[in-house]
Structure 1
Amino acid sequence: MSNCLKSGAALLLAAVLALQPLSALACTVPDGVTLSENDQERMVDFFRSRSQGLAETLIAPSYNERVDVHALFAQGDGYIDAIADGDYLCRTVKLGGAISPLVVYPYFDCRISKGGTRIDKITVSQRFSGRLQSAETAVFYWGALYYGDEQPIAYGADADRDQVGCIYRVPDKTAKRYRLELPYPRYESTHDVIELVRKD
């Protein structure tokens, strides 16, 4: 790859990074949702996690993966108060961290159900399951990781597996793409993004 292309990819991500809010709450934790102290802090630091993760991807060697990240964030946050039931393709994008500055996994299968109040990753060995609720400018998620040979576990059952985050729409022409963002995940990365693409 030419130095020009590498520089172009870095500039794309740098431009995205410059658009991030300096300080804000990602979305309001809905009334009645009880989070651990650690997860409350993760939500307060949501945009710091996002900005740090994006900054770390600037040194990622793969131009194509950096362009994928740019496409997810370039148009900002598409605010939503619900996400429709249905089957979705989903892939995990790990921004930053000690292992690698950027990892983009293949697509697997996710499902939104129960009137937009539940999300499940239903294929591959590492899965997640949780609840969704409107939270002003986004959809709030709280759930937990589990493995394919286990039954889904509830948020709060194992602090090391707990996840919290927000879903935003990716504002592009398809109107079928979303970002579930998980600030400061327990393992590997600085900021996780689950890209959701509606199948129909």
Structure 2
Amino acid sequence: MWGRNKFILAALALPALAACNTVPPVPRSVADGPPSPPSSDGSWRATATEADKLRIRSWYSSWEAALADARAKGFGAQVDREGILLHPTAALPNPHLPAGDYKCRTVKVGSQSGGTLGFIAYGWFRCRVSAEQGLYSLVKLTGSQRPVGLIFPDNLTRQVFLGTLELGDEKLAVSYGSDRMRDMAGLVERIGDNRWRLVLPAPAYESLVDVIELVPDTSK
């Protein structure tokens, strides 16, 4: 797994190096409480593309549009069954996502195409969070669409994910910032005891918002 994480670090560190000199480590204190605000050097804002900064700024309007579209297309009951997972303002303090193996599943809300598929919930796959060189990486290990990226501290109720999308049988992610259709940006939030979500507003494909639920994998 080290080789893949090393690639992730390189892929996301390069844009930050262009804007400053280094990407700072995630504070060690995050294991004990909310992350400290990052310095301007190497923060997610220094790393993110302009398009991804807009995605993060517009997260709430994207989520409102996604929920409205899903309900208008007759998926209100499915949305309601997901409960707090799809509540836009459900984030709790201390969003830090500890290193380890996770079960993860994706819920796609709203449709970009105007078609009838305004909601789809997938089954459980495998994800992993790793601490490497002071940074945290998040990788979806299985499935045909696999986010791969880094988690940056932001504030008391969220962290920011920046990454790219692996597809099909690809073995390596493309470098962040090299393909806007593969770039991903989202919010990592804690929504319960040992329960987190990655909210991806305005993804490049299919939906208006993707929500990835993460819970520790206790099967091992």
Fold in common (TM above 0.5): yes
Partner of 1:22: none
Q: Which of 134, 138, 142 in structure 1 is aligned with 2:158?
A: 138
Number of matched pairs = 170
> What CA deviation, in whole Å up to 9, does each residue of 1:21-51 have, x standing for no partner?
xxxxxxx897323222211111111111111
Q: CA deviation at 1:77?
A: 1.4
Mapping 1:13-162, distance limit 5 Å: 31=40, 32=42, 33-61=46-74, 65-74=78-87, 76-97=90-111, 98-99=114-115, 100-114=117-131, 117-136=136-155, 137-150=157-170, 151-162=172-183
Output the TM-score relative to the length of structure 1. Answer: 0.76
Quick one: distance in 2 between partners of 1:155 and 1:85? 22
Q: CA deviation at 1:112?
A: 0.6
Unaligned runs of 5+ in 1: 1-27
SS in 2 for 1:127: strand
Asked if 1 retains the 8 angstrom alpha-carbon contact of 2:75 and 2:118, the reply is no
Residues 73, 147 of structure 1: CA spacing in aligned structure 2 closer, same or farther, 3 A cutoff?
Answer: closer
RMSD value, Cα: 2.2
Asked if 2 retains the 8 angstrom alpha-carbon contact of 1:95 and 1:190, the reply is yes
> What CA deviation, in whole Å up to 9, does each residue of 1:61-112 have, x standing for no partner?
4566323332314572113342101111111111101342111111110001
Quick one: distance in 2 between partners of 1:51 and 1:187? 18
Residues 69, 37 of structure 1: CA spacing in aligned structure 2 closer, same or farther, 3 A cutoff?
Answer: same
Q: Which runs of 4+ in 1 moved over 3 A?
A: 28-31, 59-64
Unaligned runs of 5+ in 2: 1-36
SS in 1 for 2:178: coil
Mapping 1:162-177, distance limit 5 Å: 162-171=183-192, 175-177=193-195
Asked if 2 retains the 8 angstrom alpha-carbon contact of 1:80 and 1:139, the reply is no
